[in-house]
Structures are given as structure tokens and as C-alpha cells.
Amino acid sequence: MKQFLRFLAFACLCGLAAAQTYPSRPITIVVAYPAGGDTDAVARLLGDKLSSRLGQPVVVDNRSGASGIIGSSHVSKAPADGYTLLLAPSTFAIAQLVLKTTAATGYDVVNGFTPIIQTGSQPLFLASAGNVEARTVKDLVAAAQKGQEFDYASPGSGSPMHVLGEIANKSMGVKFRQVPYKGVAPAMNDVLGAHVPLTYMTYGPLEPYVASGKVRILAVADKTRSALAPNVPTFAELGYAGIEVTAWNGLFGPKGMPADVVQTLNTHVNAILKMPDVAAKLATLGVVPHGGAPEVLARTSAGDLERFGRVIKDMGIRAD
């Protein structure tokens, strides 16, 4: 019995030492999308700051495919030691509702991860390529009702942009067709190349091309106008009700991460999000810094799963 108690004491001391020295090796932040998009940029920004504060390299690993399901599933199966993390957009909560998965390829949004911190939120916009003749939402709707066909680029089936597109179709009485891509960057490339006329997108990827006229921002899917683009009207202002979808991103780990490791990461990221240079960089991406306790991210993710689960079921939204 004494030998067993000595073993327990030794194990506890080892565990305490491990927690006190976290991190003792490089940390990987998985991004389930290609390099070049909003989520990738946020991950690299946070990774650079975390590396300086924690004294260990923080590497971003892009594991794209299946609207983020591949990378998210990978993290859900990783050791829960704080060395493999997931920086996920809100697609994380809803992608599986429109894409078929199995027990081997899917993940449990609510119970399969450890929420760490909600890093930001992003309003979503409807934008058109510069060569589109219709210059307003009402012009687009009128053209569509006369038989003109429009496609919209999204970062992937099951993304908030996809769900927004289908909600907008119903409210506006049109049938704009989704063209899903493997992330923000390839979707934007085809809009800029005038291969796809429309997109539902966050502000960051759109902003560099507004002044030149390569893209035109037509409406924001929020209750109020965005400070990022104050001259852009809401859909409600234009007479289209119920078109309100906001994107977000957050840092997760595998289920069962030690509470002290979660607290360490949460504390550091909260501090990072308050840095003026970080806030300025996030603004260029169209990201409003968020922060808060892990429970905030848990509620946000679970809330999207519930809300958009109903919308997806009621509207029969499926991957193209």
C-alpha cells in the first residue's frame, strides 16, 4: 500500500511539473483551410505572438478539405496535451450538417473539443465582381427575376457564407447558385477573375479591391451597418428581412485538455487580442477582436449548431 501511495505521489508531482513547464516543446495550430484566407492569417498572427510569450515555436499546419472537416477531425483525435490546437471559423460548427460524415471522419462539435477562446467575429457581406452590370442588390434581384442567372462563390459547403446565401435566396426570392471552394483565397481569386459574379464574404478579403472597382460591396448581413464599411446598407434597410449571419473564429483543443493549460492559453490570447498592433492587423482582415472565457466560445459554437441546424433542416440545405 505504501509503495502504491508513493507511486501516486510521484505521478502527481510529475503531472504538476509538466503543467508548470507547459509548453516544453513546439505547439501546432491546425487551420483546416488553405493558406491565404482569414482563418490562416489570424492563426499566424496569434501563433507569432504566442511564440514570443511562451518561449516555444508555434507552427501553423494547413490541413484543408471537406469544408474544414478533415483538419477539425484530425485535432479531435490528437492527444489532449495542449500541443495540437485548432483555429476554426464558424464553419466548424455547421459543416457536418450539410456534408455527409462517418464516425471515422466526423467530430462532435459540442463534446469532442476543449474550447479555449473566441478570437474574433466578422460581419458578412454580399459583393459582386466589378464587371457585373447590376450595381445594387435590387438591380441583381430584378435581373434574376427576368431570367439572368447568377452564381455566388463561397469558401465551402456548410460555411456561414453558404448558409447566408441560401437564407438570402429565400428572402430575396431568387435562386443564386452556390459555387463552393476550398477556402476564402480560391473563392476570391475566381471572383477577381470574373469567373463567378457574386460572393458572400468577410470584409478582409474584399477590402483591397474595392477602391479599384474590382469588387463592389452591396450589402451587409447584420442588424446594423458595419464600422468596417459604414456606407454599405444592411439587407433589412433594402427591404429584405431575416438575412443576418455573423461569422466568428475561435481556438479549440482536443477534448480533455488540462484546465491549467487551457487557462494559460486563454490568458495569453486575451492579452494578445488587446495589443494595439494585433487589433490593427485584425481590422485589415475584417475581424473584430473578441476574447473572454472559454465558456463564451462554447456557447457561441453550440448556439450556431442549434440555430443553423434548424435553418439547414427547414430549408433542406445540402452540399452541391
Q: How far apart are CA 108 and CA 175, in angstroms?
A: 32
pLDDT of residue 80: 98
Residues contacting residue 123 through CB under 8 Å, at least 6 positions apart = 202, 203, 220, 221, 222, 226, 228, 246, 247, 286
- pLDDT (tens place) for every residue of the chain, 320 residues total: 455 445 444 444 444 444 458 999 999 999 999 898 889 999 999 999 999 999 999 999 999 988 899 999 999 999 999 999 999 999 999 999 888 888 788 999 999 999 999 999 999 999 999 999 999 999 999 999 999 999 999 998 888 999 999 999 999 999 999 999 988 999 999 999 999 999 999 999 999 999 999 999 999 999 999 999 999 999 999 999 999 999 999 999 999 999 999 999 999 999 999 999 999 999 989 899 999 999 999 999 999 999 999 988 888 888 75
Write down the CATH number for the domain with range 2-122+247-315: 3.40.190.150
pLDDT of residue 8: 46
Residue 309 has which C-alpha cell? 441546424
pLDDT of residue 98: 86
pLDDT of residue 306: 94
pLDDT of residue 20: 59
Q: Are both 2-122+247-315 and 123-220 of the same fold?
A: yes
Extents of the domains making up the chain: 2-122+247-315, 123-220
Helices (H) and strands (E) in the chain, counts: 11, 10
Question: In the chain, which residue ranges form alpha helices assigned H by DSSP?
Answer: 2-20, 38-54, 69-76, 91-98, 137-145, 160-172, 184-192, 203-206, 259-273, 276-284, 294-315
Work out whether strand 113-129 and strand 288-289 pair parallel, antiparallel, or are unpaired. Answer: antiparallel
Containing H/E element for 123?
strand 113-129
Q: How far apart are CA 132 and CA 134, in angstroms?
A: 6
pLDDT of residue 56: 98
Instruction: Say what the alpha-carbon torsion angle 266, 74, 285, 152 is, to the nearest 10 degrees.
Output: -140
Q: How far apart are CA 259 and CA 71, in angstroms?
A: 23
Q: What is the fold, at CATH topology level, of the domain defined by 123-220?
A: D-Maltodextrin-Binding Protein; domain 2 (3.40.190)
Q: What separation in angstroms does the CA of 107 have from each of 94, 185, 235, 262?
A: 11, 25, 34, 20
Residue 34 has which C-alpha cell? 488553405
Q: How far apart are CA 209 and CA 284, in angstroms?
A: 13
Q: Other C-beta atoms within 10 Å of 164: how many?
A: 26
Residues contacting residue 74 through CB under 8 Å, at least 6 positions apart = 30, 63
Contact indicator for 67, 276 with CB cutoff of 8 Å:
no
pLDDT of residue 17: 43
DSSP code string of 194-205: TSSSEEEEEHHH
Q: How far apart are CA 217 and CA 209, in angstroms?
A: 10
